[in-house]
Amino acid sequence: MSDETPTSDTQAKEAASTTDGRSMHVKVYSPFKVYFEGTAESVSAESATGPFDILPKHHNFITLLDPCDLIIRTGKDEEQAIAIQGGIMHVKADEVIVFLDV
C-alpha cells in the first residue's frame, strides 16, 4: 500500500485522474451538466460508421456520435449507460471527453 494518501480534494482528483494504462479518464458532459467523470476500462458508443469501443491506449481519435446508449464500463461487472442524442467524442492519451448537446 502506498504511503502517499491524498490529503486534499485537489490531490484526490489528481490521483483519480492518473491512469495506469489499464484504465482511462472519462468525462461526459453538456454545457450545464456533468453526466459522468471518473476512470473507466472501456467506453462504447455509435458513430455513422457503426458501433465502436474505446479501450486504454487507443489512438488519438475524434468522432461525431449518433443517437445511442453511451456505455461506460467502470469495473468488471459495473457499467453505466447514458442515452445520448448525439455529440462529439475526443480521445487523447487515455483521456476520453464526450461533449453532449452539441
Interface with other proteins, residue 48, by CB under 8 A: yes
- Is the separation of the CB atoms in 84 and 66 below 8 Å? no
- The stretch among 3-11, 14-22, 23-31, 68-76 that binds other proteins (CB under 8 A) is 23-31
Beta-carbon neighbour count of residue 72 at 10 Å? 25
Indicate the residue among 65 and 72 with the shorter CB distance to other proteins.
Answer: 65
Grid coordinates given for 35: 453526466
Interface with other proteins, residue 30, by CB under 8 A: yes
Whole-angstrom Cα distance, residue 24 to residue 80?
15
- Is the separation of the CB atoms in 91 and 58 below 8 Å? yes
- The stretch among 10-18, 36-44, 58-66, 76-84 that binds other proteins (CB under 8 A) is 58-66
Interface residues with other proteins (CB under 8 A) are 29-33, 47-49, 59-64, 88, 90, 97, 99, 101-102
